[in-house]
Chains A and B, each alone.
Chain A
Amino acid sequence: MTSALETHQLTKTFGGLAAVGRLDLVVPEHRIASVIGPNGAGKTTVFNCVTGFYPVDSGDILFYGRSILGLAPDQITYLGIARTFQNIRLFANMTAIENILVGEHPRLRSMWFEAVFRTPRMRQEERGAVAEANRLLLFVGLGGMGDELARNLPYGAQRRLELARALASQPRLLLLDEPTAGMNPNETREMMRFIQRLRDELGITILLIEHDMRVVMGISEQVTVLDYGLKIAEGTTLEIQHNPRVIEAYLGRGASSGLGEANRVAA
């Protein structure tokens, strides 16, 4: 099985503090994988390293076997990695459709002079881009809201629009940073189904950071647990739920003996 993403001994320090230390992470293709851990465990730092926002101190990152170390964020997106953000970061003063069109940017080819002269190629490409954006809007359930400004959309819709924007670049690997944060149980269930659909229907590999254990345990096929930047456990949801080190990280020393209690929390 090919791996979509691999990190080898990935290390990132901030002024002596190791945010991520010697992380080995393998995400096989078409898998839904989760990274969990207490606050400040270095989860988002991993995302920022993979997407090129942080320079890596040492180690390597492979995307489908190719090292993406040292590439700029836009080049990495271009290769096929898209992401969403923990706190929604839409282009608030652009409409929903414009947001998605920006997401399509790396797929489009027309240059500025083609835009000035409106060459047939450019016009055709634009038509295709708008049609695709509308398709994506429907896909995330925002059909008919294309002309709304992103800031005017309700919270749940903004999360979905951010997903649509990430999908617009037609990624092979999607990094979701707490996709259900702030959602009510209904919306959360809907989002879980949606993430599964992304994998099942579009064949996208998914790596997600999540705090909501129902989501993590509900949809991930592989869970990696970080604590203080170090990987303390990895495995299936079942394995993780019974791992004493995980329970210790979440609940503190002493609690690891009370497995039942921890299970209740984890479930």
Chain B
Amino acid sequence: MMPERLRMALITGATFAVLLVFLVLIGFQVTAAELIGGLLGNGRTTAISGLSGLGLNMLGFFALIGLWAGMSAARRRTPDLWSHALEDAALAGGLAGAVLGLLAYLVARLSAAGVHMSAYLAQLVPSTIALFTLGLPAIRIAVLYFALIALSALLGAVLARGVVRSSWRRTLNDRLGRPLGRSVEMGNRAIRKVTANRVSRYGLYGVLVLLALLLPQRIGPFWNYTLGTVGIYVLLGLGLNVVVGLAGLLDLGYVAFFAIGAYTVALLTAPQPHHLLWSFWVALPIGIGVAALAGVLLGIPVLRLRGDYLAIVTLGFGEILGTLTRSDALVTFTGGPMGVKEVAGPTLFGRAFSSGADYLYLMAIGAVVIIFITMRLQNSRVGRAWVAMREDETVARAMGINTLVQKLLAFGIGAAFAGLGGVFFASRNQFTGPDDFTLMVSINVLCLVIVGGMGNMPGVIAGALVLKGLPEVLRQLEDYRLVAFGALLVVMMVVRPEGILPSRRRRLEVHAGESLPEPEKAGSQSPERATGDDVRA
């Protein structure tokens, strides 16, 4: 019987072997190599030139995975011996390397035999194969990969056992980690101190506003445009946060209100198809109002439904609206599949908003207004009713809450925020068309609300930055965006289901039944003394 330790090492090796094969079969190593090239600045060398540039980057990528394999194989066990760590890593790395080598051998042989593998595996096109095999003969490339993975795994074990677990780490921690933690703590305390005082709090806000004013002037058009896209999704996310996060209504057709806002401003300001040519500033409140009205009107029939049923109905509504805008029947009214061109942008004191920076300002103002309104609502009778409804709708009704009215309110306000996003979106792009409003938009917004932290506005903003900002920055990953997106969602929901920055309530909800944090000390009670007699007074 093989010792448990070696069996575990083999399992680790097999896992990494599967991972490596999977990555090669989807052709990810090419993307990774290009990405590394982009980071190092040597990415644009030709792909089929042996070990130069891209090939080296790809080997580096595989070596990183080998390193990872070695580190995870050399996990801490008792007794924590050097020999054990190296043995485990060699076993895991050897297995993973052998499998990768075998794959390379097969690919090289088949390619040499003239088999067109791309007919079966779309990613195995000749250029990818050439990069993967580095133009070497089958035996040599197999040995190369085996050696590469095995050696990097050993290196990983050395790192894991030698650096991460030895006294080095403690030293590193003392020199770096502790002061870092302390400074974070100090920063937190400073922020608390600053926000506790009224004057310094407004001072801080002032600095933030100043930063928001200066930043778009500094960072250039690419970042302004990217942040603008993020900004649209921040507006959408904040709106959906009211509907899903606060009132607990699962709306999968949220894109409809976004579309209504966009189309309203487009149809009112564009020369085609209606030639109304209204000013943006007039169209803005109308767009918000129409979206809110649509939210309420849709809400009246559907909000009697609960949970899953509501989700399906709203999903259908979103799809109907998309189909309508695309249909020929409404061509004269909405421009049909061609969309609406030359949507007007805002002008202020004779100056036209044209750059990404201008829209960034506009969106920042919009977001601040939305945050302000939401915060005020959250801490009011309405906000409490929403949360109560989310917690237990039946009991909320028994408490005298007219749940239909409260749901309509949440739906209408959420729709109004989406409408605002739509107005900015159409006006920034100077165009709007049916293809902008797909189911993916609804799903994206829902994802960023969930990943960011439902019911918590900083969380929603963080979610928008992560889910919309990162893909924009990682343009090279284009093909894998959805894979990465899905993987992120899965990992996120497993590791941190409450979201990046959850609201306190949400965190408790998700971790119900686990050991609770020390309940916060009961705060100051109002000093009124009361007896039963004046309860009804």
Contacts and interface: CB of A to CB of B under 8 A. Distances in A.
A34 B265 CA distance: 62
A253 B418 CA distance: 67
Interface stretch (A60-68, A84-92, A229-237): A84-92
Contact of B535 (A51, A89, A112, A202): A202
B198 interface: no
Interface in A73-112: 73-75, 77-78, 82-83, 85, 89-94, 98, 101-103, 105-106, 108, 110-112
B394 to A, nearest CB: 7
B165 interface: no
Interface in B490-537: 505, 508-509, 512, 516, 519-520, 522-523, 525-526, 528-536
B525 A92 contact: no
Contact of A73 (B398, B508, B526, B535): B398
B525 to A, nearest CB: 5
Given A78-B400, A93-B508, A135 B534 contact: yes
B485 to A, nearest CB: 29
B400 A77 contact: yes
B192 interface: no
Interface stretch (B25-33, B383-391, B436-444): B383-391
A148 B526 contact: no
Given A115-B376, A148-B522, A105 B395 contact: no
Contacts of A103: 399
A143 B525 contact: yes
B49 interface: no
B398 A130 contact: no
Contacts of B519: 148-149, 152
A93 B395 contact: no
A145 B522 contact: yes
Contacts of A111: 382
A176 interface: no
B396 to A, nearest CB: 7
Interface in B195-244: none
Nearest to B516: A152
A144 interface: yes
Interface stretch (B141-149, B175-183, B401-409): B401-409
A110 to B, nearest CB: 6
A135 B400 contact: no
A98 B534 contact: no
Interface in B354-381: 373, 376-377, 379-381
Interface residues of A, number: 59
A92 B399 contact: no
A43 B399 CA distance: 21
A72 interface: yes
A147 to B, nearest CB: 5
B392 interface: yes
B508 A151 contact: yes
A124 to B, nearest CB: 13
A168 to B, nearest CB: 8
B399 A130 contact: no
A138 interface: yes
A116 interface: yes
Given A91-B392, A147-B520, A201-B533, A74 B526 contact: no
B522 A101 contact: no
Contacts of B116: none
A197 B531 CA distance: 12
Contacts of B387: 91, 93-94, 98
B397 interface: yes
Nearest to A136: B535
Contacts of A51: 398
A224 interface: no
By DSSP majority rule, is chain A's interface helix, strand, loop, or mixed?
helix
Contacts of A75: 402
Given A89-B392, A91-B395, A152-B519, A102 B525 contact: no
Contacts, number: 143
B525 A144 contact: yes
A73 B397 contact: yes
A134 B377 contact: no
B13 to A, nearest CB: 45
B377 A53 contact: no
Interface residues of B, number: 46
Contact of A74 (B400, B516, B520, B523): B400
Given A77-B399, A91-B387, A94-B505, A144 B392 contact: no
Interface in A129-164: 129-131, 134-139, 143-149, 151-152
Contacts of B384: 94, 98, 101-102, 105
B29 to A, nearest CB: 46
Nearest to A78: B400
Contacts of B388: 91, 94, 102, 105
Contacts of A121: none
Contacts of B530: 134-135, 138-139
Contact of B391 (A82, A92, A135, A203): A92
Contact of A201 (B376, B395, B532): B532
A131 to B, nearest CB: 6
A170 interface: yes
A61 B396 CA distance: 22
A94 B378 CA distance: 13
B187 to A, nearest CB: 27
A145 to B, nearest CB: 6
A116 B505 contact: no
B396 A135 contact: no
A248 B528 CA distance: 53
Contact of A116 (B377, B391, B516, B533): B377
Nearest to B537: A135
B284 to A, nearest CB: 18
Contact of B399 (A72, A122, A134, A165): A165
A102 B516 contact: no
A167 B400 contact: no
Contact of A110 (B373, B381, B391): B381
A134 B525 contact: yes
A145 B521 CA distance: 9
A126 interface: yes
A192 B520 CA distance: 32
Interface of A: 51, 53, 72-75, 77-78, 82-83, 85, 89-94, 98, 101-103, 105-106, 108, 110-112, 115-118, 122, 126, 129-131, 134-139, 143-149, 151-152, 165, 167, 169-170, 197, 201-203
Top 5 nearest A-B pairs (CB, nearest first) are A106-B400, A115-B380, A77-B400, A135-B530, A91-B391
21 contacts: A53-B397, A72-B402, A85-B398, A89-B392, A89-B395, A92-B512, A93-B391, A102-B384, A102-B385, A105-B401, A106-B400, A110-B380, A112-B409, A131-B528, A134-B525, A134-B526, A135-B535, A139-B530, A145-B522, A202-B532, A203-B536
Given A72-B397, A115-B377, A147-B523, 7 more contacts: A77-B399, A90-B395, A92-B512, A105-B399, A135-B528, A148-B522, A151-B508
